[in-house]
Structure 1
Amino acid sequence: MPKRRPFYRSAAIIGILACLTGLPAAAQVTLDAPALRQAATLALRAGDAQRAKVYAEALLTRDVNDLNAHLIHARALRDLGQVAPARIAANRAWRLANTDAEKYSAALITAQVLSTAGKRTRAQLWLRRAAEHAPNDLLRARAERDFKYVKKRNPWHTSLTFTLAPNSNINNGSAQDRSELNYAISEILFGQPIEYNLTGSALALSGLEIGGSLRTRYRFHQTPVTAHDVKLGLSYRTFALSGSAKNTAPNASGSDFAFGTATLGYGFRRINFERKGEFSFDGELGQSWYGGSQYASYLRGAAFQSFSPSRTQRYRFGVDIERQFGQATPDVDSIALRSSLTQSLKSGDTLYLGLSAETTHSAEKDAEYNEVELRTGYVLHKPIMGADVQFGLGAAYRDYDVSRHAADGRQDHKIFADVTATFRQIDYYGFNPSVTLSASKTDSNIGLYDVNRIGLSIGIKSAF
């Protein structure tokens, strides 16, 4: 038998309803708690937030731990523009929630209140919580839909990435154990190039990469076709040397190869070509550190135009320009032309093709090079063993006219490949784990720059 409520609480409900309607209490129809909750819900649906608020308060007078009453109260207060008390009511509902269905409802109303208050980033976090506790696929889809709606209207957009990656070559060391001395000096002294042994950190060192990055932007002005952003980026990665690496380079530590960056930038977007295209411009000022010391400052600009002649095809082309002010590396100016095609196939798979050409200029001639790179990607529409899979493959050729190691300069041929699996069936707060296996091989005419690398990285991706 359910526990009977004291008479004075029922009387309080009748009295409040009497005040609401302006009729004598004796003329009112007595409603039990379930009926009153139903009446409050119908009032909300009819847009009568004031009536729903009074009904909810009557229910809370009867039972301060009435979860549904707190939910109705929060929604009614939010609709009335009383955001602060609505937030309190939503918090109380969340504390009282026990089942997934209750937690879903409490998280959803909390997100709605926060979004109304303009706190859209926090609203997105609560919508992820709602998706996590959704009792069925239909309600989860609603949380995802609301998340996308709030995200689209949020002036802040922040992404966090974390890296935990075993790597066969954390220091970009040589795959060879021998190289040649500076050709000019060796020819003057000995009449021919002289080979020497590579040791220590000149060789490839294996280890574990540990790092993370944060990128955030604030959209400070927007029209139906343009957007202006200010952007901030921070990244850092360090390494733990393997046992074999410590034996190869006993005087080295993983922090010797740590690398970090800090950037501040501006971004502009404009929709054009009858909403089939978009022009973008990004400017960025950055500073990098290597091994705990300043490495280089840089100023970078990029302008790109994309165009989608159909829903299945997208072209993109543009230019990158960078000025590097070296502290532990030469000053370098670079310019790169880039183009790409993304094509959706009849099978549902997606094909990507990218081509770029880059040239650099520096006062130190052996820092100048020309490079051409071809990159392809393929995304499978159907999962494999529950995982979304995408492949990448590419090749690059880099030519240095001048090198201190060889009379005919330096030529590098590089091939690289990767495969990424994202496990959609493993979901936590709208995030899925992903694993990327990557490999690259660089063949150079100078042994010091022969580089082989195999890496396995573990990360997370947003499910929506």
Structure 2
Amino acid sequence: MANLRGFFLGATQACFLALTALGANIPTEAQAQQGEQRLSREDARILASRLASEGRPSAAREIALGLLQADPGDISALLILSQAEKQLGNLDAAKTAIRTAWRVGETKRERFAAALTMADLHAAQEAYTRSQIWIRRAIQTAPDQQTEQVAITAFRRVRQENPLAVELSFGLNPSTNVNSGNSNQAISFAYLPGYLSEILWLVPADERPLSGLEISLQTDLRYRIAETATSQTSLEFGLYGRTYLMSDAARASAPEVTGASLSFAQVSLGILHQWHPSGADAPYSASLTYSHDWAGGSPYQYQLNGTLGTQFTLGNDDTLALSASIRYAHRFASDAEVFTYSLLGRWSRDLANDDKVGIIGQMAKATADATDLAYEEATLGVSYDFGALSVNSVSLGLDLSTSYTEKYRVYETSAYDPTGREDRISSLRFDVGLNNVDFYGFQPVVTLQARRTASSVERFDTDGVQIGVNLRSSF
């Protein structure tokens, strides 16, 4: 906390200096107190700023109040008054002065100084989340890259102090197949007896791919409840929802399928413990999460998931993350129970050109009494992060990452084939970050994803392409 206050003190003092040009002949406090000595407004601002920085807030406050009597919109005087009131312990009065400065500020530099000072005041009261909000305002109004970097550094330091971490994401994703519809116009059922197995059955319109716009919102909260030098425990809360706007073509072919009928929502609550044993090279984590899902507005299932993970740093700038999890799910409509066991490994390497390559592998097994729920699964994927793109050392203002995964899933039983079912799920994804577009520290990411499922049971063949825009924090 002391380091954080020291940082803000230096940052806010820099703001004052930016707004009060230092003159060659600045009167001393003794000269200012002489009746015959009259100060210009500029000299008075400089003197008040000096007094505040030297720890004489009462004198600085009196000069600032005098300046504000002459001009209630004097930004420099409001900033100095705020600093003096803070030193005197009058934090509410300090905030009042800064709110006025934020309201009347006209230039980016003035509003930047006001926002960063307000963030300092909230941090002094350990209201770290409010402090982060005001720092994002400072970033939005930063007059240049240097001051923007000052605010970003402040944000990161406040984030370390804040026991509450908040992540928000919002997405708009047009898709050719919002309902995971069957990609075939007609299908056959091999398990039917005799010639019936050769008959092609038309797929109903509402089970064919329908296009539309997916709208999603996700909020994740993490609150640190305990911390030592080697461990940390946090409570987690998550809220996710998505719905759809159907295209005109989808409404015409399947009017009974609506965005509400395809909607999905999830609420989750969990606990996370992270620790680094003394003498060990790798950190560990353990989590337990409960979630409740709704589909089409009706209760769908609840899940209980436990995960244990670790991460190793290898040679050649390699990292290896391993995790094991057990998940229990209860489906409300069928009363089915599913236990899923999985092992996951992620390897990544930082390359000499600052790119990053990664490989993911996963094995999973689900057990259930109901059909089409018990399966064995193997996943293999590769990813490549190109980082910031440039041509001849000239930045394009974009960053690019891509990934490709293959998932093989074998079901023990299927309602459409008594011998079971085999699925191959392929996915290709590109993420393009627009680095030159920034809104309060958030940048848009354009995502293009193609996904295809080839199944031994034609009923489960699907494919679709989705392109969308999501927001991510830029720091």
The equivalent position to 1:308 in structure 2, one of 305, 313, 317, is: 313
For structure 1, the residue ranges without an aligned partner over 5 or more in a row are 1-16
Q: How much does 1:287 deviate? A: 0.7
Report whether the alignment pairs 1:37 with 2:48.
Answer: no
What is the 5 A alignment of 1:155-174? 155-174=163-182
Q: Which residue of 1 aligns with 2:327?
A: 322
What is the 5 A alignment of 1:78-89? 78-89=86-97
Report whether the alignment pairs 1:376 with 2:376.
Answer: no
After superposition, give the CA deviation of every residue in 1:1-54 in whole Å (9 maximum; x if it has no partner). Answer: xxxxxxxxxxxxxxxx99x97x99657854333222212222333344444334
Query: Structure 2 vs 1, CA of residues 454 and 274 (structure 1 numbering), >3 Å: closer, same or farther?
Result: farther
Q: How much does 1:181 deviate? A: 4.1
The equivalent position to 1:366 in structure 2, one of 359, 372, 384, is: 372
Q: How much does 1:225 deviate? A: 2.3
Report whether the alignment pairs 1:426 with 2:437.
Answer: yes
SS of corresponding position for 1:439 = strand
Q: How much does 1:275 deviate? A: 8.0
The equivalent position to 1:94 in structure 2, one of 89, 96, 102, is: 102
The equivalent position to 1:128 in structure 2, one of 136, 139, 159, is: 136
After superposition, give the CA deviation of every residue in 1:304-353 in whole Å (9 maximum; x if it has no partner). Answer: 11122469322110112111011135321101100101210011101121
Q: How much does 1:99 deviate? A: 0.7
Q: Which residue of 2 aligns with 1:144?
A: 152
Report whether the alignment pairs 1:242 with 2:250.
Answer: no
CA–CA separation in structure 2 for the residues paired with 1:61 and 1:271: 58
The equivalent position to 2:229 in structure 1, one of 206, 224, 229, is: 224
Q: How much does 1:79 deviate? A: 3.4
Aligned residue identity for 2:361: L
Query: Structure 2 vs 1, CA of residues 54 and 224 (structure 1 numbering), >3 Å: closer, same or farther?
Result: farther
Aligned residue identity for 2:387: H
CA–CA separation in structure 2 for the residues paired with 1:56 and 1:204: 68
Aligned residue identity for 1:374: L
For structure 2, the residue ranges without an aligned partner over 5 or more in a row are 1-26, 391-395
Aligned residue identity for 1:253: T
Between stretches 56-65 and 292-301, larger displacement belongs to 56-65
Q: Which residue of 2 aligns with 1:284?
A: 289
Q: Which residue of 2 aligns with 1:6?
A: none
- Conserved? CA contact 2:65–2:77, under 8 Å: yes
Q: How much does 1:160 deviate? A: 1.4
CA–CA separation in structure 1 for the residues paired with 2:127 and 2:42: 33
Aligned residue identity for 1:377: S
Q: How much does 1:70 deviate? A: 0.8
CA–CA separation in structure 2 for the residues paired with 1:426 and 1:267: 34
Aligned residue identity for 2:304: L
After superposition, give the CA deviation of every residue in 1:151-206 in whole Å (9 maximum; x if it has no partner). Answer: 111111111111211111111111112334483xx33x878575422113222221
After superposition, give the CA deviation of every residue in 1:78-119 in whole Å (9 maximum; x if it has no partner). Answer: 234321111111111112210111111111111111111222
Query: Structure 2 vs 1, CA of residues 70 and 279 (structure 1 numbering), >3 Å: closer, same or farther?
Result: same
Query: Structure 2 vs 1, CA of residues 182 and 55 (structure 1 numbering), >3 Å: closer, same or farther?
Result: farther
Q: Which residue of 1 aligns with 2:473?
A: 462
CA–CA separation in structure 2 for the residues paired with 1:295 and 1:50: 64
Aligned residue identity for 2:342: A
Number of positions where the alignment pairs a residue of Structure 1 with one of Structure 2: 443
Q: Which residue of 2 aligns with 1:201?
A: 206
TM-score, with structure 2 as normaliser: 0.87
Q: Which residue of 1 aligns with 2:346?
A: 340
SS of corresponding position for 2:255 = coil
TM-score, with structure 1 as normaliser: 0.89
Report whether the alignment pairs 1:252 with 2:273.
Answer: no
Q: Which residue of 1 aligns with 2:424?
A: 413
SS of corresponding position for 2:83 = helix
CA–CA separation in structure 1 for the residues paired with 2:111 and 2:436: 22
- Conserved? CA contact 1:78–1:116, under 8 Å: no
Report whether the alignment pairs 1:354 with 2:360.
Answer: yes
CA–CA separation in structure 2 for the residues paired with 1:145 and 1:275: 30
- Conserved? CA contact 2:300–2:333, under 8 Å: yes
CA–CA separation in structure 2 for the residues paired with 1:280 and 1:138: 37
Query: Structure 2 vs 1, CA of residues 103 and 311 (structure 1 numbering), >3 Å: closer, same or farther?
Result: farther
SS of corresponding position for 1:65 = coil
Aligned residue identity for 1:419: F
Q: How much does 1:267 deviate? A: 1.2
